[in-house]
Amino acid sequence: MVSSFVHVWLKPLAVNIAGWLLLVVGVLALVLPGPGLLCIVAGLAVLSTRYRWAEKLMHPVKARAYHLAAEGVKTRSRIVASSLGAAVLFACGLVWGLRPPTPGWWQWPDDWWLIGGWGTAISIMGSAGFAIGLIIYSHRRFGLPMKAARRAGGPGA
C-alpha cells in the first residue's frame, strides 16, 4: 500500500518539483552567476522522464553536448585551455568571497561591489568544479584521438 502510494503519487511529484526547480534556477542563473545552461539541461533531463515534450527537446541538446564534449578534448591544448579557464573561474570565485576593498574606479555604491559575498562565490567556484568534472568525464569518454589510434594499433602507434 505505502509502496504504491510513493510510486504513484510521490515520485511523479518529486520529479516535477525537481525538474521545474532546476529550470527556474537555470533561467535565473543565466543573468546571475552560476551554471544556467547546465541547470536548464538538467531540468529538461529530469522532466524528460515524465513528459514527451521535454524528451523531444533533450535529443538535439544531448547530441550537441556530446559533440562539443568530444571536440573539447580533441587536442591537449584544448584540454589545457579549458582547465586553465576553470582555474581562473575558481580564482574569481575565491576573490569574490574574500571581497577585497572597493577599487577607486568603481562608480556605484560600495555595497554593490561583489554583491552576494560567499553565496555568489560558492556558486562561481561550484561552476568551476563542475567544469573540471566535465573535462575529466569528456576526456575519459572521448579521449584524445592519438590515444585511440594507439589502442587500435593504427598510425602513430
| pLDDT tens figures, 33-81 | 767 888 888 999 999 999 999 999 998 988 888 898 888 899 999 999 9
**Which set of grid coordinates corresponds to residue 73?**
578534448
> Would you state the pLDDT for residue 156?
46
Alpha carbons 120 and 125: distance in angstroms, whole number: 9
- What is the tens place of the pLDDT at every residue in 134-156? 899 999 988 766 555 555 554 54
Alpha carbons 135 and 96: distance in angstroms, whole number: 24
**Which set of grid coordinates corresponds to residue 77?**
591544448
Alpha carbons 132 and 139: distance in angstroms, whole number: 11
> Would you state the pLDDT for residue 153?
52
Alpha carbons 31 and 12: distance in angstroms, whole number: 30
Is the pLDDT higher at 107 or at 11?
Answer: 107
H or E element, residue 70: helix 52-72
> Would you state the pLDDT for residue 85?
95
Alpha carbons 62 and 58: distance in angstroms, whole number: 6
Asked if pLDDT for residue 7 goes beyond 90, the answer is no
Q: Over pLDDT 70: what percentage of the chain?
A: 86
End-to-end CA distance of the chain: 61
The pTM of this model reads: 0.65
Instruction: Tell me if 35 sits within 8 A of 51, measured CB to CB.
Output: no
Q: How far is CA 134 from the centre of its chain?
A: 8
> Would you state the pLDDT for residue 30?
84
- What is the tens place of the pLDDT at every residue in 101-138? 999 999 999 888 988 889 889 989 998 998 999 899 99
User: Residue 29 to residues 72, 81, 124, 144: CA-CA distances in angstroms?
Assistant: 23, 24, 11, 32
> Would you state the pLDDT for residue 88?
97
User: Residue 42 to residues 22, 58, 73, 142, 150: CA-CA distances in angstroms?
Assistant: 7, 10, 22, 21, 35
Instruction: Tell me if 143 sits within 8 A of 73, measured CB to CB.
Output: yes
